[in-house]
Amino acid sequence: MFIRYINNPNGKVYASLVEGEREGKSVKQKYLGSLGLVIDKEKGIFKTPKRGVFAYSVKNGFSELPTVTDEIAYSEKEILILDFGDAFILDRYLRTLPFYEAYRGVMPSATDSVFSLLYYRILTEKKAYCYADTWWSGSFSRMLFPNAELQSQRVSEFLVVLGGEEVQRRFFSEYLSAIYGDKGGTSGVLIDSTGLENASKMSLTQINNHNGEISMEIRLIYVIDRRNGMPIYFRYCPGNIVDVTTLCTTLAELAQYNISTDYAIVDAGYVSEGNIKELFQNDIHFVTRLAPNRVIFKDLAKNELSDLLEVKYAIKYGNRLVYLKKTAIDLYGYAGYAYIGVDMDSRNAQMKKTVFNAIDDKASLEEMNQRISRLGLFMLISSDDMGTDEILPLYYTRQQVEQVFDIGKNYADLVPLRVQNEDTLRGHLLLTFMATAILQRLQQDIIKKRKKKHKMNPEGVFMTLRNQKCKVYDKNIVPQEPVKENNDVYDLLGIKCPITIERNALV
């Protein structure tokens, strides 16, 4: 048994107690516990949030410091002024959400570490986990979560535990119960995937060809409730797994949490004969886009384009002019409907370049007309017979998935991936899912409450409040007076900035 010392990027040194076992020519180290921050390496003085300042040696074990004077001398000087506003308002806002208790229950024995890392992901900009301890030491989060263990080696160990299958199942069971009730429910869902580019050498990192772009990545699948836009589940798979093979498994896993799917809106990558039949057989209504390489697309293009640009098919979608017609079709033995459309904005934008290219290629008039006829063309298929003015707003609720991915990548620190193995990856993905759910709900609440002159977003909320400080005293914390911009955010979210906060009330 010996002490392993690790230098942290913030200039501090941390220590762990480990046991070495020789296996052939190598020594396998077994982690026994953290000794915390190294105060005096030569004298064996350490500090942890739970134990405080203490002495330890392999020979004599743990011992208290001999005098109060020694303890004061070895204790770190407390930071008396902390960043306040961003962590305070995030904490107060999170406590109002229905899934707050699900977050508290994800790892009951390490709640302070869970919330500290969650806040770190939300409140900082693209920072590696190794800087979490530095951020925490100067943030109000230190007062909220005094027992967080954020040393680099502890964070890695924490992510492995957080990524465990048992932990993740418990989280989704409680999270989905908070949203739908203990008995589960029925949900219309939006399903899509995104690539997480990653240079780490793990089996999940594989070559992916997406729309002609080659990358080394992991595929991340999110399921969104189409009614409220909230993320409700995630999965991941190797980067070379194509979307079409993941749909049925995703719906099957969701069903294990008593969430039955009654409507699915998916992108073209999920269309296959097997998936369409599976959706019909399980009475799941659906809308999806058809890719141009599909036989159904090519057949419809041959038979349905001659009169598509007639005025009777014209509809207004937002500020766009779209020609859209509906026709009944056979979908692998089931009755379905195709919606064939031309987006005139897209068509007009492509017209000049297409004609010039055809002239340069010396294309025949027949070939030139064929190229032009496909400009702006798109097709949707559905199990349902609905009006052409209904199908586009329904399908484009898919944009909520893109919004959630954007929030996850830009604000919840989903990428770039800085983990080196699947064990820590799973913990990282759960942590960023939790952060994304908070940010998505905050974004929705801001849109509902904000006035037109206040174009605020989650990033702006936390950035505005980041510079509001607080002073730490023996018994109380005194936030400094919020400026006008701070008060605008407090008013927007209906949260009041306190004059004082009792330190004992935070524990």
3-state SS of 191-260 is EEEEEEECCCCCCCCEEEEECCEEEEEEEEEEEEECCCCCEEEEEEEECCCCHHHCHHHHHHHHHCCCEE
- Band (201; pLDDT cuts 50, 70, 90): low
pLDDT for the residue 111: 94
Distance CA 427, CA 425 (A): 5
Query: Does residue 85 surpass a pLDDT of 70?
Result: yes
CB–CB of 293/301 below 8 Å? no
Q: What is the pTM of this model?
A: 0.79
pLDDT for the residue 501: 95
pLDDT of 296-346, one tens digit each?
Answer: 999 999 899 889 999 999 999 988 999 999 999 999 999 999 999 999 999
CB–CB of 498/477 below 8 Å? no
pLDDT of 432-480, one tens digit each?
Answer: 999 999 999 999 998 887 655 556 788 888 999 988 999 998 889 999 9
3-state SS of 69-84 is HHHHHHCCCCCCEEEC
CA-based radius of gyration for the chain: 28
pLDDT for the residue 80: 84
Sign of CA dihedral 486, 492, 493, 495: positive
Q: Which helix (H) or strand (E) holds 317?
A: strand 314-317
pLDDT of 162-182, one tens digit each?
Answer: 999 999 999 999 999 999 988
Q: How far is CA 179 from CA 99, 101, 184, 233, 431, in A?
A: 7, 12, 9, 12, 18
Amino acid identity, position 226: R
Identify the bridge partners of residue 214 per DSSP, sorted by sequence position. Answer: 209
pLDDT for the residue 170: 95
Q: How far is CA 500 from CA 431, 479, 496, 506, in A?
A: 31, 7, 12, 12
Identify the bridge partners of residue 327 per DSSP, sorted by sequence position. Answer: 338
pLDDT for the residue 76: 47
Contacts of 413 (CB under 8 A, 6+ apart): 121, 124, 126, 127, 432, 435
pLDDT of 113-136, one tens digit each?
Answer: 999 999 999 998 867 888 898 899
Distance CA 432, CA 416 (A): 12
Query: Does residue 1 surpass a pLDDT of 90?
Result: no
Q: Is 197 exposed, middle or buried (0-12, 13-18, 19+ CB in 10 A)?
A: middle
Distance CA 464, CA 457 (A): 11
Query: Does residue 206 surpass a pLDDT of 50?
Result: yes
Q: Dihedrals φ, ψ of 304, to 5°?
A: -120, 0
Q: Dihedrals φ, ψ of 292, to 5°?
A: -60, -20
Average pLDDT, the chain: 86
| Domains of the chain, start order | 2-74 (no CATH), 79-162+420-507 (no CATH), 168-406 (3.90.350.10)
Picking from 317, 321, 325, the residue whose alpha carbon sits closest to that of residue 395 is 317
